[in-house]
Structure 1
Amino acid sequence: MAPVLPPTGIEPVDQYGVDGLSVCRTEDKKSLIFYPATYRPQNDPEYEDPNGSAHAWQNQEEAMEQLGWLKKIHEIIGASDPTSHPHVQRLLETQTGTGFPIVEFVDKGDLYSFLRTNPKPVVPSGKGSENPLTLKLRWALNIASALAFLHTKNIVFEGLSPNTIRLRSDLSAALVDLDAAAYKEQTGSDGMADGYRCPDWVEAPLADQAETWITPSQDIYAFGSLMYYLLVEEDPEPWKDEEDMPELEENDLDEIIRKCWVREFGSMAEVVKAVKMIVAQEGLELSGGG
């Protein structure tokens, strides 16, 4: 049976989706609306009040909590200047009546799928465009600067992976699925299951034990894994002890990966600086950079 959509004339979109939620594109094709996968408007013949429904599929409680968390993360972002970042998906509004979040549509698909279908993507024009590293360094700088921005808000993205990075029409990168993000001791949704986890990741942080909280260092570790993926287009093997760390080359890019993994960077701002130094050394001009 075709899904019954929220009453705003929106169209389905297949390439987005978070467990328990459905996502549709608005009529102007510029934004997306998130809503529970089991949603039925009240005028639907199969609608039942979720509070009194005997059908488990009608229970939207977990999905609504997930949507509430997504909105809270965006509220935290918007509570202080700067209120947005060019490489973080923006909340545009909430739907009148339902309160469902409407976010900007990042139109080129996720990074993982893009690299699979475009093994030799067209590199943006400009100085250094013939360098095969140009596009990957651009993505790295986009994401590093986005993570650094979130950290200024005490938000840890937590779910970083090629699947939670989407590309815009100019091939710049943006973080999406912010329901996976964590704030202090509060974790995000199960989207973290698909992200890069550091060896000491804690599944259930405790409010009264700060040592268990999600910290920016976990994003720094994940960024190192993302850099590894960008260079070899394979995920690094999980490791706990430094001697088991995936083998790296002796060059500046791999040194960034190593320093992310062994926590020699004190902040994402330091990582951004390191990536920018490589861009400068290569003599590249990155339109849509950090």
Structure 2
Amino acid sequence: MADKYVPTYQVNYPDGAKFLTIGGSGLIYIFPSNAAEVLKVPSTNPRTRHNHAIERRIYERLGTHPNIIKCLRMDDYGIYLERAEHGCIRQYFLDGGTATLRERIQWSLDIANALQYVHEHNIRHADLSGRNVLLDSSRKVRLCDFAGSAIDDDKATVWAESGFRHPDDDEVKHSTIRAELHALGSTIYELCTFSQPHGREVEEWIVGQWIREGKYPSVKEVILGDIIMKCWNGGFASAKEVAQSIKQESGNIFAR
């Protein structure tokens, strides 16, 4: 019975599924008989179920992309997703994981390309950060968690965390490209430094206040630092432009 206990809400899940973790967008189950997939199940909370329905629509539209976690199938229980062995990149770093210079640049490029693909399908992620970037067994990054994202005329019901969220509330409310690219800059910062903007030690409300005041962490010694700052300052018009700049900077770095 212990495996079936969920501390927050009663949910339905198939026989053989084992509870793994709970997050803001649902509960995650694994299958001992199949380590390659996980099941994302909504709770009975109305907002969670609404966000889950949005995520279903988004996965149906997105199809397959090499840097977006693959949706294997859906049924009445929930959404079955490809399992990323190393979990989210933030926890990977917190657990002592590391990455080479080449990997960090490649991961930044891959997430920029994935975000561009999402935008081309009239979707805005709205909550981009290292907690929604997974690392798979082949050490490729995969964007995940579209529960509550914006699609077509449906506004997002989630928003990025402090340090990633755009300082202008109107940009956040409407899930604008500027807001998305601001979060992309912070995500690249996290991929390159193994740390969130202003770190984990500072309380979220303080980080949010600093960002609203234009106080960003120094990127002078950070790889891709100029690109990160340009994302924060609204200097890019699209994630595609960010990806192109990363490619160019990568060529410069490895040509030295």
Relative to the length of structure 1, the TM-score reads: 0.72
1:149-168 map, 5 Å = 149-168=117-136
Are the counterparts in 2 of residues 69 and 188 from structure 1 also a CA contact under 8 Å? no
**Cα distance, 1:105 vs. partner?**
1.3
Q: Which amino acid aligns with 1:94?
A: M
User: Equivalent residue for 1:128?
Assistant: none
**Cα distance, 1:60 vs. partner?**
4.4
Distance change in 2, residues 1:142/1:215 (3 Å): same
Q: Distance in 1 between matches of 2:230 and 2:237?
A: 10
1:28-177 map, 5 Å = 28-37=34-43, 59-77=44-62, 83-95=63-75, 98=76, 100-119=78-97, 121=98, 132-177=100-145
**Cα distance, 1:246 vs. partner?**
3.1
Amino-acid identity (%): 23
Q: Distance in 2 between matches of 1:99 and 1:20?
A: 14
Of structures 1 and 2, the larger Rg is shown by: 1
| Deviation sequence 1:80-120 (CA, Å, 0-9, x none) | xxx3211111221112xx2522122112111111112235x
Are the counterparts in 1 of residues 171 and 178 from structure 2 also a CA contact under 8 Å? no
Q: Which amino acid aligns with 1:133?
A: L
Kindly report the root-mean-square deviation, in angstroms, between the aligned alpha carbons of the 2 structures.
Answer: 2.7
Are the counterparts in 1 of residues 133 and 144 from structure 2 also a CA contact under 8 Å? yes
Distance change in 2, residues 1:6/1:271 (3 Å): same
Q: Distance in 2 between matches of 1:35 and 1:69?
A: 13
- The count of aligned residue pairs is 236
Relative to the length of structure 2, the TM-score reads: 0.80
| Deviation sequence 1:120-170 (CA, Å, 0-9, x none) | x3x5xxxxxxxx421211211121111011010111111111111110011
**SS of the residue 2:127 aligns to:** coil
Q: Distance in 1 between matches of 2:26 and 2:222?
A: 42
Residue ranges of structure 2 left out of the alignment (5+ in a row): 6-11, 198-206
Residue 19 (str. 1) matches residue 4 (str. 2):
no
Residue 239 (str. 1) matches residue 199 (str. 2):
no
Which one has the bigger helix percentage?
A: 2
Distance change in 2, residues 1:186/1:229 (3 Å): same
Residue ranges of structure 1 left out of the alignment (5+ in a row): 38-58, 78-82, 124-131, 206-212, 285-290
Distance change in 2, residues 1:60/1:214 (3 Å): closer
**Cα distance, 1:215 vs. partner?**
1.6
Which one has the bigger strand percentage?
A: 2
Are the counterparts in 1 of residues 156 and 175 from structure 2 also a CA contact under 8 Å? no
